[in-house]
Chains A and B, each alone.
Chain A
Amino acid sequence: MNMNKELIKNKLFALIQFLIPFIVVIVIWEIIVYFGLIGQLPAPSAIYNKFVYLMFEKNILTNHIYGSLYRLILGYILAIILGIVVGSIISLKKIISDMLTPMLSLFIAIPTIAWVPVLLITLGLGDKTVIAAVFLGGFFAITYSTMHGIRMVDKNLINAAKISGAKKLSMFISIFLPGSLVSLIPGLRLAIGYSWRALVGAEMLAAMVKWGVGKMIYTSRFWNDVEAMFLGLVIIGIGGLLLDQLLMRYIERVTVERWGMVSEG
């Protein structure tokens, strides 16, 4: 019990410490705008008012957020599944993975946003394009880190399993998959960042998409609605932070760090 209280106290302290810089920035920002030092910069209070207006009076902000989340989750899960499957299949034979690595690096070098025109051409101007962009953003990074991870698996372990007569499938599940997590989990973390950015970019460019935080920012441009643009940025920042620091860090902590595969960092 006591331990728990201590833990909660520490967490709370860390949270406060985390928030203080934001409070300072917001206060300074408000003052700067109040005295009109920078033109066309909306005050934090104005952004907050916009938030209240869009959220509670017009009730459209939740639509934007749900629209984005839905595409992110769908595209990212697709990327995880296909990335791990493709990465594993390629890694079955060393020569094939050696052959395909350069091609994969070429694909990774392409900014995800550059795929968007191609997707608009082939999949249309709507949701499918955005989901596909989210998918592509994550897919190559996950495939690559799966391959990298499988390559790093200890050869002695593989030989030991072979000698004890392990079948291919059970070898994959109990040796290759856990062994590759050292590289796969950071890969997943990197990939969700790529997917997140691809999501926002694709929403801005896909004309038929109605809801989405990226869309919100983009359409605000036509009304010169700077408050809504900043509100969009704030939502994207908080969303990205939650995804990266809470979700992905948590997964790292309970998997590779707990198993002592990497030191905490």
Chain B
Amino acid sequence: MDNKKISSIIFGIIPIILFFLFWELFAEYGILNPALFSKPTIIFPKLYNKFPELINHLFATIYRLLVSFFIALGIGIAIGMLMGYKKIIYRSLNPLITTVMTVPGIAMAPIFILWFGFGDPTIITIGIIVAFFPIVYNVAMGVRSVDKQLVQAANIMGGKRKNLFLNVYLPHSVSYIVIGIKLGLARCWRTIVAVEFIAATSYGLGYMIWDAYEYLNFSVVYGGIIIMAILFFTIEKTAIRQLEKRTIERWGLVHEHE
């Protein structure tokens, strides 16, 4: 890490520290009602004391997130590629996808609870559904955006199907696919937490804060939100960032212009 990066991290942390400091002071001097807003010096020790239980909540959510995201990724890329290849498939699926895409996952929860009961099957199914749409939509767009002349050129030179896919379609639609992954993961995350509110039975960050709210345990509610922010921020800055670096920049679509 160079100096510039370190200083930008320090700069970024200052407002966050100030935020907690003001929260603490406001609650201490009664500007914010501490009974409702809690305060950082209560929240953090509380989280520390709950640590073993917290780990369970955390892993339950991460497990659901990963399982549903990767299933959605597989199905989404497969169907998206098909939609990109064949116009008729695109025409028949696209209207359905653009419509169902706007339905929030939490609205489907009551139906799936009825079908699958409370717990993982419901949460993971809804997670798959919501992550699937942004992925399939963007993969199809990406494949359709590939220059037809390139495909023809590859065909003339006798490129096999596998090679056509690996060397033409994949690299040229990768920026779309990465956008799809980004949006899909973000929606999956938001929806899984939301569905955990009403469908989880024992563990999960969403379950934790809703449960804490119902027992008027407000410092756990705030603590849970802080943990969520840190968790998804970390995922975005590490996994997604790496993915962008390794695909878009490597396959040159961004790189060429620089």
Q: Which residues of A contact B (CB under 8 A)?
A: 17-22, 24-25, 40, 95, 98-103, 105-107, 109-118, 120-122, 193, 196-197, 200-201, 204-205, 214, 217-218, 220-221, 224, 226, 229-230, 232-233, 236-241, 243-245, 265
Contact = CB atoms under 8 A, between A and B. Distances in A.
B102 interface: yes
B107 A102 contact: no
Interface centre among B9, B16, B103 (most CB of A within 10 A): B103
16 contacts: A21-B95, A99-B12, A102-B15, A103-B19, A110-B225, A114-B193, A117-B221, A121-B218, A197-B104, A197-B105, A200-B106, A201-B194, A226-B114, A233-B111, A237-B103, A240-B99
B22 to A, nearest CB: 13
A224 to B, nearest CB: 7
A200 B224 contact: no
A205 B197 contact: yes
B110 A196 contact: no
B111 A241 contact: no
A23 B36 CA distance: 51
Nearest to B235: A109
Contacts of A105: 233, 236-237
Given A103-B16, A111-B190, A233 B107 contact: yes
Contacts of A111: 189-191, 193-194, 206, 228
A236 B110 contact: no
Interface string B28-44: 00000000110000000
B232 to A, nearest CB: 4
B233 A114 contact: no
Interface in B106-142: 106-108, 110-111, 113-115, 141
B104 A201 contact: yes
Nearest to A193: B102
A229 B233 contact: no
B48 interface: no
B15 A114 contact: no
Highest count of chain B CB atoms <10 Å: which of A40, A103, A114:
A114
Nearest to B16: A103
B15 A103 contact: yes
